[in-house]
Structure 1
Amino acid sequence: MNMIQKYKEFEIYFQNADHIDVKTIESDIDLRSFISGMLSYYPWWMIFLYRIREIFVGILGLVRHDKPETLPSIKPEDLSFEPGENASFFIVRHAKEDMYWVSETPEDKHLKALFGVIAEKLSQNLTRYHVFTSVKYLHWTGPVYFNLIRPFHHLVVWSMMKACIKKRQIT
């Protein structure tokens, strides 16, 4: 969290947050490749978790968002850094090339969630990535929903981080 606190412009993303988590990982890939790799990771088990999530959405009466016909694979050069533009199912809020990228989930009635990545350059060939999630509950269904998915949230984010690094090592 110390690295994130260096950016005063991020304070608004953590004010009154009900849940904040930060995960870190090191890699030799650039920020665009790291984020696009994370957002393009869809193993079968993650798709299965999203299907189970739909059950909770129905029971809690949450907003049902349109599902894409195909799961997007985002190339680094196609990843948007423009506030207001879409990147997968996220909306870009704040981004600076080679430094950070912050996005938000589409508007919901139960919670507001932000997802961001900060690149901390360690050397010419090594970067430490700080991946954060900030959640603000907007309705009583927010904590109910988030606490049901919380263990899977940690698993999904960590797996996305590791997968894009592993993919890079293989290619």
Structure 2
Amino acid sequence: MKACFSLSLLLLSVSAPALAQDPAPAAVPAQVRALEGCWRGEGVVMDKPVVISLAARPITQGAMFLVEAQSHATSDPNDRYAAHLVFGGRGAPPKDGEATAISGFWIDSFGGDFTASGAGSVTKDGFDVAYAYPDATFVNRWRWKADRLAWSIVAKAGSAPEAAFASYELRRAPCAESGGSK
């Protein structure tokens, strides 16, 4: 037993320096981090008017960024939707700045069959991330100016033209105490 314990300590001491030297993850781009805080607004999803709120913050020791979205139809508060969007930086930064590539993961109230990984990049006034689903790719375009945020989602299927799926106009808002998305 004593030999096993000693061997365990030896292995831990040998592996600890290797872990400490792992390269740092690509930074979450500033255009994504600019979403930090809370947002409220209105929008349209598949021609249905909705009210939406976002709460955005860094997670996993700052290596990733989480946007929690909650919405409901204006005509029926019981017609609700919730999503968690996780973003991270990808790849090496260019010589003149930080990472410009973005990875994303979409998790929502439709459950495990409708999750998607995404990839995108920054723009001068926001960022884009595309999520591939079996029937179409959904391109999310995030744009802001001061305390206003425009978020649009278009569907791209094959050679067909882009089709509007959702669009939101939001403003920065105070963050309410929350127990998370339901």
Give the shorter-chain TM-score range: 0.3 to 0.5
The structure with the largest helix share of the pair is: 1
Greater strand content: 2
Question: So what's the TM-score if we normalise by structure 1?
Answer: 0.34
Higher RCO, 1 vs 2 (CA within 8 Å, ≥6 residues apart) = 1
